[in-house]
Amino acid sequence: MATLSIDGYAPREKLADTDLLSRVLGEYLPELGMRILEGAAPFISPYHTEEGVVNYSGVVLLEAPHYHLTIHAFQDTGLVWIDTTYDPNKKPEDAVAYFEKHLGLRDAKAVIHGEEKVA
C-alpha cells in the first residue's frame, strides 16, 4: 500500500474540537474498509506553541502492521496535515471529500507516496 498525504486548511474552531478530531480519526478508516487495531482508539495530543496556542496531533493504528492515520491540526494557522495508509484501488478525491465534509477542509492538495502520482 501507498501513503496518502493531504494538506489543506480548515476552520480553526473545528481544529480546536478534540471530539471532532477523534471522530474523524475513528470513522474515516472503516469507510475505506480498514479496521482499527483491536483495543486501539484514536489518540489526540495537545501541544502548545511559544505564543500559547494549543495545536493538536492525533493518530489511530490499523490492524495491518505499519498502517495508520495521523492528523496534525494547527489552530494558529488553520493548516491541517493528514497522512494515511492508502489503497491504490481507491480514489484520492474520495479521501479529500471526506475531510472536506467533516472538517470543512479547503484548498486541499493530495499526494500519493509510493506510486509517484500527484492527485
Q: Residue 91's domain is classified under what CATH number?
A: 3.60.90.10
How high is the mean pLDDT of the chain? 86
Show the domain range for 104: 2-118
Read off the pLDDT of residues 46-87 as tens digits, 9 standing for 90 and up.
Answer: 999 898 889 999 998 877 766 788 999 999 999 999 998 877
Partners of 36 in the β-ladder: 62
pLDDT band at 117 (very low <50, low <70, confident <90, very high): very low
Segment 13-17 shows an average pLDDT of 94
Distance CA 40, CA 14 (A): 23
Question: Residues 6 or more apart from 94 whose CB is under 8 A from it?
Answer: none
Spatial separation of the C-alpha atoms in residues 30 and 35, rounded to whole Å:
6
| Beta-carbon contacts of residue 50 (< 8 Å; ≥ 6 apart) | none
For the chain, what is the domain count?
Answer: 1
H or E element that contains 73? strand 68-74
Place of cell 490492524: 63
pTM: 0.85
